[in-house]
Amino acid sequence: MSLLAQTQPMYWLPPDYSTHGWQIDQLINWMHVFMAVLFVGWGAFFTQCLVKYRYRRNPTALYEPIKAKASKVVEAAVVVIEVVLLVAFAIPVLAEYKNDPPKPEDNPFEVHVVAQQFAWNIHYPGPDGKFGKRNPKLVSDANSNPLGLDRDGDPDAKDDIVGNNEMHLPVGRPIIVKLTSKDVIHSFSVPMLRVKQDTVPGMEIPVWFTVKEGTSSDAIRETMIRTVAVPAAGANPRDFVLWCTNNIAVEDIKGSDGTVIVGKGREPSAEHLEALQKAGIGEIRVAPRHPVEIHCTQLCGITHYKMRGFVILMPPDEFETWYAEQAAGGDEFIEE
Amino acid sequence: MSGGHHHDHGGGHHGHEPALHGHHHEPGFIGKYLFSVDHKVIGVQYTVTALVFLLVGFSMMLIMRWQLARPGEAVPLVGSLLSQLGITHAQTKALTNEGYNMLGAMHGTIMVFLGVVPLAVGGFGNYVMPLQIGAKDMAFPKLNMMSYWVYLSGGIVMMASFWANGGAAQSGWTSYPPLANTALSGQTWWLVGMVLLITSSLLGSVNFIVTIMHLRAKGLSMWRLPFFVWAQFVTAFLLLLAFPPLEAAGVMQLMDRVAGTSFFMPEGLIVSDKPTAWTGGGSPLLWQHLFWFLAHPEVYVLILPAMGIVGEIIANNTRKPLWGYTTLVYSIIFLGFMSFIVWAHHMYMTGMGTALSTFFQATTMIISVPSVIILTCFIISLYGARIRYNTPMLFALAFLPMFAIGGLTGLPLGLAASDIHLHDTYYVIGHFHYVVAPGTIIALFAGIYYWFPKVTGRRMSEFLGKLHFWPTLIGMNMVFGPMFFVGIVGVQRRLWTQTDYQLGQMTQYWVVFSSVGAAVLGLGQLPFIWNFFSSIFAGRKAEQNAWEATTLEWAAAPSPPPHGNFLADPVVVCGPYEYSVPGSPKDYCPQCQTSEA
């Protein structure tokens, strides 16, 4: 793709939909201000020296060391600023993130995530609120039992809901995610919720967060609509395919005779190109299917790059409906 | 270290081995150029081998950068060739995702363990350090030779692993278990290669320490040592103390893979959809602790020799003493100590508690202070200078702002709260590459241009040197600068392509820009390669003290130095950087009394 063809570029921190993320963002931003000031200060002195003390201009170099009080001031300032960043920002922010689990009276919603090469298994307790025991001996992807639940023998497991790569969550309610892995170390990362935690086999590690009230995946999608140019016939479709991958049309894309080429909610692809070109459509509007993505940030094997999941944020009432529907479906395995 | 004036060992007075050996009979061709015990020949062997590995590691990166900019498209030029090794797809000739992981793991391993460290320590340390301290050779010349050959064997094993069943190691240069434990046989080769490389470094480090302690010229007290020698001294201690835990860990992982042990494997592991019977009781995090206990000091093994080189070149080309020499020395000693207690800042996301992470955040902030001091000393050294803008000086000067960027961007990663967003993103890649490439490698280039006349007796071309400098500086910034922005957006590292991800799509333009930068950087190395080889034979003849320098390698040894280094034993009379002494006829006063040849 050409350098200038970037649609909807992003330059800095991505949007944040968690209630705690602003503190992380604030720390990152202040650190960069500090770094920039230091760098520009150094750079100004450095550049001045390079120009002023070049060989021809300065006939003799200074033997005696200069008394540089300024350097002591700079070094002291660096120490003070680092102490402030550490003590006033970094440690409290982390303590809040790590040491304050949601209290039972806040009605937290707990969900388990079991990572495996190369998928995220999402384990919900079902209506009884109890998680079934996961038995490694019963694990079988082939039999659609990736977690090793004993649906018949374990009463807690009967109503458990198991999802694959799609994690539905209610907004505005504290969420506890307990993380583990079946095979290698993965890392559960949701940049747009400012959450990251390695998943380590043999360990169960919790993270918790709350998604801002009033938001939802549908609302976020509306903010991420982009226009993608349809390439001329015979031109390289690379950019078009790239910008449409995992995106959906935000409206029906119709030809001149009114036939729908790409339906609303469908992913445009190279197959649609010919029809789009024939219809003389110059550009189409798309948006991410699921805008909030789960990344695996730890190298986990051959198709690490494909280990992507989604967090689907729902208003609480919508979530309850969805949850009840899933529970009614029994042990149905939710495919992406 | 204070009061180091009392022990002044004369280099030739102890009748150590090279003196006995070297002056009595000339070795034959094989003894002189191949299995040589002369530190200079070994230094050149290290340098040339390491430069070749740097080029190999860089070429791997070019292939990866092609894939990142043009996902799934045929690799130009070498696409067909690499399909033989399974690195590219047999039909499409595009880089496969296995191939990407192989090149990623091997790029890191090669650049750190086979390129930069051997060049900085094995190459520059071996060649320059004994000359700068007025020694006839290293304390243990045979150990020195063995160090090189073990290193070369390690390198050959690493490269041979591309022909192993399933190809080379694919688990990253960090080789985290259980992934590495269950990986294909390339990982076993990697471990064997690592054990050899570590052994080589250990042999080298004891030699450096003993040589600097015992073989200094008469009058050369510790506080008269050139800064470069101090940097090598601290580096040798880091190698000596940090590598053994990784050697142990490497052997343990090897045993896990071949002997059925389970040091790093927890119970209930599911492999290929079945629970394993052969795992249990081990801890995957143990490896990470052992690995980073080496790999953090390793960062300073890379950067300290680079700082040493920069110090020498800045003093020489500002024509004035280094500002704050004593402060610089204490700073690198302190850096060395601190580098052993920051390792777990690589592990904030493993589920570490806040008490432990508070400790490591505090030590990480503390270690940034000596780095700031070192940089400040170098920059203040420019004040009131008489700067000669020759090629070595350009590279040395470029090191300063580049290392500043690398160091500063370590701060947000060193605080666990900001690390939540930045950990394992491209921000990390940008950060450590600024330390290693535009930082360390730029300084190593400076060192090559600076000491080339000493080694060969001829100068490299200044014009070609500048033609190398500018595209290198610009190219490196084009490659690594954008990574900070890609990382801040939140794109994770080690992806075969990032275009499947929304955040990846939104930053893909930077990725393409980086790849263009890699091409600029690659083309920029052609003048260097030509300059390097042609100058050996046709470069302008260099006098003994080509840069009008003060230190012993220039002041007392011919260019190139003969076997045994000095025509007469140098006696040191002053500190290392007596430039522009008021009242002196010349603008430099050599460290020793012996007249120039």
Question: Residues of B with CB below 8 A from A305's CB?
Answer: 97, 494-498, 500
What whole-number distance in Å separates Cα of residue A326 and Cα of residue A173?
20
Q: What is the structure's pLDDT at A4?
A: 42
Say if B560 falls within a structural domain: no
Helix (H, G, I), strand (E, B) or coil at B78: coil
* B579 DSSP assignment: B
Asked if the Cβ–Cβ distance from B423 to A71 is below 8 Å, we say: no
Reduced to 3 states (helix: H, G, I; strand: E, B; else coil), residue A279 is coil
Which tokens sit at B353? 């508690």
- Residue ranges and CATH numbers for the domains of chain A are 21-99 (no CATH), 105-216+292-334 (2.60.40.420), 225-288 (3.90.105)
Q: What are the structure tokens assigned to B10, written together?
A: 């004369």
Q: Cα(A244)–Cα(A266) distance, rounded to whole angstroms? A: 10
Q: How many domains does chain B have?
A: 1
| Residues paired with B567 in a beta bridge | none
Residue-level pLDDT at B490 = 96
Check if A87 contacts B (Cβ < 8 Å).
no
Instruction: Confirm whether B568 is domain-assigned.
Output: no
Give the residues of chain A that fall short of pLDDT 50: 1-4, 331, 333, 335-336
Give the chain B residue nearest A178 (alpha carbons). B351
Residue A201 to chain B, least CA–CA distance (Å) = 7
Instruction: Copy the structure tokens of residue A238.
Output: 């690379």
pLDDT at A5: 52
Rounded to whole angstroms, what are the CA distances from B253 to A187, B195, B202, B265?
22, 11, 20, 10
- The pair of structure tokens assigned to B287 is 């490896």
User: pLDDT in tens for each of the 597 residues of chain B?
Assistant: 333 344 444 333 443 444 444 444 667 778 778 889 999 999 999 999 999 999 999 999 999 999 999 999 999 999 999 999 999 999 999 999 999 999 999 999 999 999 999 999 999 999 999 999 999 999 999 999 999 999 999 999 999 999 999 999 999 999 999 999 999 999 999 999 999 999 999 999 999 999 999 999 999 999 999 999 999 999 999 999 999 999 999 999 999 999 999 999 998 899 888 888 778 889 999 999 999 999 999 999 999 999 999 999 999 999 999 999 999 999 999 999 999 999 999 999 999 889 999 999 999 999 999 999 999 999 999 999 999 999 999 999 999 999 999 999 999 999 999 999 999 999 999 999 999 999 999 999 999 999 999 999 999 999 999 999 999 999 999 999 999 999 999 999 999 999 999 999 999 999 999 999 999 999 999 999 999 999 999 999 999 999 999 999 999 999 999 999 999 999 999 999 999 999 888 999 999 975 444
Pairing of strands A119-124, A161-164: antiparallel
How far does B138 lie from chain A, in Å, by closest CA?
A: 34
- Residue A56 sits at the chain B interface (C-beta within 8 Å): no
What's the pLDDT at B595? 47
Please check whether residue B414 is in contact with residue B345, taking contact to mean a CB–CB distance below 8 angstroms. yes
Residue B502 and residue A224: Cβ atoms within 8 Å? yes
Residue partners of B465: CB distance under 8 A and separation at least 6 = B390, B391, B394, B449, B527, B528, B531
DSSP string, B206-236: HHHHHHHHH-PPBT--GGGS-HHHHHHHHHH
The minimal CB distance from A246 to the residues B320, B323, B500 is found for: B500
Helix (H) or strand (E) holding B366: helix B354-381
As beta bridge partners, residue A109 has: A175
B151 touching A (Cβ < 8 Å): no
In eight-state DSSP terms, residue A68 is -
Outline where B409-525 has alpha helix (H).
410-414, 416-422, 426-434, 442-456, 462-489, 502-524
The tokens for A76 are 């002291």
Tell me whether residues A54 and B387 touch, CB distance under 8 A.
Answer: yes
Contact call for A116 and B270, based on CB within 8 A: yes
Residues of A in contact with B357 (CB under 8 A): 94
Mapped onto helix, strand or coil, the DSSP state of residue A334 is strand
Nearest CA in chain A to B413: A28
Write out the two tokens for A158.
Answer: 């009967």
Q: What angle do CA A301, A307, A308 make, to 5 degrees?
A: 165
Distance CA(B77)–CA(A65), nearest Å, equals 55
Q: Are the CB atoms for B575 and B220 separated by under 8 Å? A: no
Q: What is the DSSP letter of B440?
A: I
The answer to whether the CB atoms of A11 and B369 lie below 8 A apart is: no
Query: If you ran DSSP here, which 8-state letter would residue B242 be given?
Result: H
Q: Which residue of A has its CA nearest to B578?
A: A63
Taking a C-beta distance cutoff of 8 angstroms, is the pair B83, B90 a contact? yes
Q: Do A11 and B420 touch (CB under 8 A)?
A: no
Q: Decide if A184 contacts B287 (C-beta within 8 A).
A: no
Which tokens is A277 given?
């070109």
Q: How many residues does chain A have?
A: 336
Minimum Cα–Cα distance from A197: chain B residue: B349
Residue of B nearest to A6 (CA): B509
Is residue B6 assigned to a domain? no
In this prediction, residue B572 carries a pLDDT of 95
Q: Residue B550 and residue B576: Cα distance in Å, rounded? A: 6
User: CB of A42 within 8 A of CB of A30?
Assistant: no
B368 reaches A (C-beta below 8 A) = yes
Domain that holds residue B131: 17-272+293-555
Position B308 scores a pLDDT of 98
CB contact under 8 A, A66 and B509: no
Q: Say if B356 is an interface residue toward chain A (CB within 8 Å).
A: no
Dmax of chain A from CA atoms? 91
Tell whether B212 is covered by a domain. yes
ipTM: 0.94
- In a domain? residue B569: no
Tally C-beta pairs within 8 A across A and B.
Answer: 312
Contact status, residue B188 vs residue B170, Cβ threshold 8 Å? no
**Beta A161-164 vs A333-334: how paired, if at all?**
parallel
**pLDDT the model gives residue B376:** 92
Q: Which CATH number characterizes residue B203's domain?
A: 1.20.210.10
User: In the structure encoding, which two tokens stand for residue B445, read together?
Assistant: 């280039």
